[in-house]
Amino acid sequence: MIPFSRHNISQNDVSSVIKVLKSNYLTKGYQVPKFEKKLSQITKSKYVIACNSATSALHLACMALRLKKNDIVWTSTNTFAASSNCALNCGCKIDFIDIDKNTWNICVVELEKKLKIAAKKKKLPKALIPVHFGGQPTEQIKIKKLSKKYNFKIIEDASHSIGAEVNKEPVGSCKWSDLTIFSFHPVKIITTGEGGAVTTNNPMYAKTIRELRENGITNVNKSFRYKAYYPNYYEQVSAGYNYRMSDISAALGLSQLKRLKKFIHERNKIAKIYKNYFKNTSIKVQKILPNIKSSYHLFVIQFNKRKLKIRYKEIFSKFKKKGFVVNLHYKALHLNPLYRNMGFKLGQFPISENYSKSAISIPIFLGLKLKDIKKIITILKEIVEFKK
Ligand SMILES: Cc1ncc(COP(=O)(O)O)c(C=O)c1O
């Protein structure tokens, strides 16, 4: 079966991992700091803290901002559970912003409208978590301006977009945000098996995150309150977690980072081929804004429902029969039982809800063959009228 996205492991990746497996340190060794340093160079951010997932990285970012019970946090409706769970797990109240009908990222016009209303009601969010959907960075310059006006912090959920750029600025630089999160799950641009990272330019956030990642423990001499009276002396300063990345994962990540440009180049090349096929057809592709380089974690197409020859749910089995796994990214988050129980309703975020019933992600990854792309187009021609 050909999936919507997958990892690509080279012989060098395998050798790097084996080297660590044969070394003295499978964790807390030299690979994680090296991986963090490399990520810091690539993203031009001052501090990088590698974690065992983007989910844990998001949680740590929320805690670094000291988000607490009843603080309000907003995110996109078009995202994975983790973008919201991180705030819920700090006791926050979550709310959503609908997506733009063309970029499928949060709609900045909607964001501004909602902020104006929230300001009047004195219910402004403490933090916003914009999600770089499919690999396209959100409109950070505009969002940053709004954050200054309405005084909220920004955590970019860039789980999809390592290697992407805004005005040639790498995602992760935090030029227009407080913190950025990456995911290195195997379907993402590069992988560490499971893994994630936080980037920031704020030393206090970095310190807090590093401590919380290590069960709330510090072993930095100058941070000690009391005298270090034995060689491996440490102090616990908070109730943290074990959100560490292993050295095995970091070695894979370091090796994968060497091919980051290649991964991005290949994904963009495949996106260009698809876009040529869909030009002037009834199939809509993600609009990429000027001065943006997408990492194309996903290649999503949206159908004009009137042009579909079969029902939406039948599309998935049609592809499966021909050996392809296509998927929906994402069912609007507020439609899940968790959020319905909180009072969110159908009809509240119409763009996202309509998208949820008319979009699919088709395969895109390094190694996808042109003959398979052609097969995908043939299947699409069977299920939808191409003509506008
Ligand atoms: C937008 C987004 N945020 C967060 C995550 C969580 O990533 P991880 O699986 O590394 O925890 C994902 C995972 O798919 C995601 O798509």
The mean pLDDT value for 244-262 works out to 98
- In percent, the amount of the chain with pLDDT more than 70 equals 100
The pLDDT value given to residue 85: 98
pTM (two decimals)? 0.98
Which one, of 222, 220, 260, lies nearest residue 35 by Cα? 260
Distance CA 264, CA 189 (A): 7
Given this model, what pLDDT does residue 373 score? 98
* Ligand 1 geometric centre to CA of 379 (Å): 29
- Measured at the CA of 145, the angle between CA 139 and CA 148, to 5 degrees, comes to 135
61-95 tens-digit pLDDT: 999 999 999 999 999 999 999 999 999 999 999 99
Three-state secondary structure readout of the chain: CECCCCCCCCHHHHHHHHHHHCCCCCCCCCHHHHHHHHHHHHHCCCEEEEECCHHHHHHHHHHHCCCCCCCEEEEECCCCCHHHHHHHCCCCEEEEECECCCCCCECHHHHHHHHHHHHHHCCCCCEEECECHHHCCCCHHHHHHHHHHHCCEEEEECCCCCCCEECCEECCCCCCCCEEEEECCCCCCCCCCCCEEEEECCHHHHHHHHHHHECCEECCHHHCCCCCCCCCCCEECCCCCECCCCHHHHHHHHHHHCCHHHHHHHHHHHHHHHHHHHCCECCEECCCCCCEECCCCCEEEECCHHHECCCHHHHHHHHHHCCECCECCCCCHHHCHHHHCCCCCCCCCHHHHHHCCCEEEECCCCCCCHHHHHHHHHHHHHHECCEC
User: Rounded to 5 degrees, what angle do the CA atoms 169, 171, 172 make?
Assistant: 115
Amino acid, res. 240? G
Percentage of the chain exceeding pLDDT 90: 98
The answer, yes or no, to whether residue 364 has pLDDT greater than 90, is: yes
Stated length of the chain? 388
pLDDT per residue as tens digits for the range 296-338: 999 999 999 999 999 999 999 999 999 999 999 999 999 999 9
Residue 181 Cα to ligand 1 middle (Å): 9
CA–CA separation, 154 and 156 (whole Å): 6
Would the CB of 360 count as within 6 Å of ligand 1? no
- Residue 230's contacts (CB-CB under 8 Å, 6 or more residues apart) are none
Check: CB of residue 194 under 8 Å from CB of residue 245. no
**Mutation pick for ligand 1 pocket among 136, 185, 188 (CB with most ligand atoms within 8 Å):** 185
Mean pLDDT rounded to a whole number for the chain:
98
Same topology between domain 11-257 and domain 260-383: no
Average pLDDT of span 280-293: 97
Predicted confidence (pLDDT) at residue 231 exceeds the cutoff of 90: yes
Spatial separation of the C-alpha atoms in residues 84 and 93, rounded to whole Å? 10
61 close to ligand 1 (CB < 6 Angstrom): no
Q: What is the pLDDT of residues 152-202, one digit of tens each?
A: 999 999 999 999 999 999 999 999 999 999 999 999 999 999 999 999 999
What kind of fold does domain 11-257 have according to CATH?
Aspartate Aminotransferase; domain 2 (3.40.640)
Prior bond to 330 cis, omega within 30? yes
CA 80 – ligand 1 centroid, Å: 6
* pLDDT higher than threshold 90 for residue 340: yes
Mean pLDDT of 132-150: 98
Report the pLDDT value the prediction gives residue 178, as an integer from 0 to 100: 98
Confidence at residue 45, expressed as pLDDT on a 0 to 100 scale: 98
Residues 6+ apart with CB under 8 A from 158: 132, 137, 164, 171, 172, 180, 181, 182
Is residue 388 scored above 90 in pLDDT?
no
Task: Report the nearest-CA residue for atom 16 of ligand 1.
Answer: 80
Q: How far is the CA of 232 from the centre of ligand 1 (A)?
A: 35
Domain-wise residue ranges, the chain: 11-257, 260-383
pLDDT of 238 over the 90 cut: yes
> Is 108 in contact with 143 (CB distance < 8 Å)?
yes
**Closest Cα to atom 14 of ligand 1:** 80
Pairwise CA distance, residues 235 & 237, whole Å: 6
Burial code of 212-224, b = ≥16 C-beta within 10 A, e = fewer? bbbeeebeeeeee
The alpha carbon of 6 is separated from its chain's Cα centroid by a whole number of angstroms, namely 16
CATH class for the region spanning 260-383: alpha beta
Separation CA 259–CA 365 (nearest Å): 13
Distance (angstroms) between ligand 1 centre and the Cα of 109 equals 25
